[in-house]
Amino acid sequence: MTWESPKERWNRIYAQGRRTPLRETLQRFVPLARVGRALEIACGTGENAVFLARLGFRVDAFDISEVAVRQARERARQAGVQVNFLVYDAATFPFPSERYDLVVNFYFLERRTFPGIRRALKPGGLLIFETFNVRHRAVRPDAPAEHFLRFCELTRAFAEGFQALHYEERGSRTVLVARKLENP
C-alpha cells in the first residue's frame, strides 16, 4: 500500500461520499455568539458553515480537501447563501487579528492553530470546539495518542484571556465553549 498524505486521504474519503453532519453542539451554543463574522476550521462539506450563513453570519471556512470544499461550495449555492470556502492546511492558515465573532472547530485537532484561534477572535468573540479525547483510543488503537485531546487540554490552552462557558468530557468527546475576554 502506498503512503497517502492527509489531503489525499480526505479527498478519497469525500469522493467516496462522506458528508459532514450539522453539529448539535453548534446548534446548542450558537445563540451565545454575536451574529457577525465566523470562521470554521476543517469545515468538510460545509453543513455547519452554511447553517451559520443562514443565521446571518458572514462566514469564512476552510478545509485541506478540495473535494470537500467543492461540495461545500455547491451546498452553499443550493442553499442560496454566500460562504467564503477556502482550501487551506490548518497548520499554515494565516489567522488574522481580531476578525471573528465566532470560531468553530469540530472533530479536527491541529494544536498549531491554537495561537491563531486566540488571535483571530475579537474581544467578546466565542469559540466552540469539539473533538475526540484520548478515550477514543479504545476505538482507534492504531491512531497516535497525539491525535486526541488530553484531559483538560482545551481548558488549559484557552484559560488565559478566555472565560469557559461550558466544558465537558463526555465519554470520548470533549467540548469547550469559551468567550475571549473584553478586558483580559
Ligand X SMILES: C[S@@+](CC[C@H](N)C(=O)[O-])C[C@H]1O[C@@H](n2cnc3c(N)ncnc32)[C@H](O)[C@@H]1O
Binding positions for ligand X, rule: CB under 6 A: 6, 10, 20, 23, 42-44, 63-65, 68, 89-91, 106-108, 110
Residue with smaller CB distance to ligand X, 44 or 116: 44
Residue with smaller CB distance to ligand X, 143 or 181: 143
Looking at the DSSP bridge assignments, the partners of residue 179 are 126, 163
- Measured from the CB of residue 184, what is the shortest distance to ligand X in angstroms? 28
Report residue 2 as a C-alpha cell: 502506498
Distance, in Å, from the CA atom of 178 to the CA atom of 8, rounded to the nearest integer, reads: 33
Residue with smaller CB distance to ligand X, 9 or 34: 9
**DSSP code string of 100-153:** EEEEEEES---GGGHHHHHHHEEEEEEEEEEEEBGGGGGT-TTS-GGGSBPTTH
Residue with smaller CB distance to ligand X, 64 or 117: 64
Residue 56, CB-side half-sphere exposure with 13 Å CA sphere: 6
- Measured from the CB of residue 51, what is the shortest distance to ligand X in angstroms? 12
Looking at the DSSP bridge assignments, the partners of residue 176 are 129, 167
- Measured from the CB of residue 45, what is the shortest distance to ligand X in angstroms? 8
Query: What's the maximum distance between 2 C-alpha atoms anywhere in the chain?
Result: 53
- Measured from the CB of residue 111, what is the shortest distance to ligand X in angstroms? 11
- Measured from the CB of residue 59, what is the shortest distance to ligand X in angstroms? 13
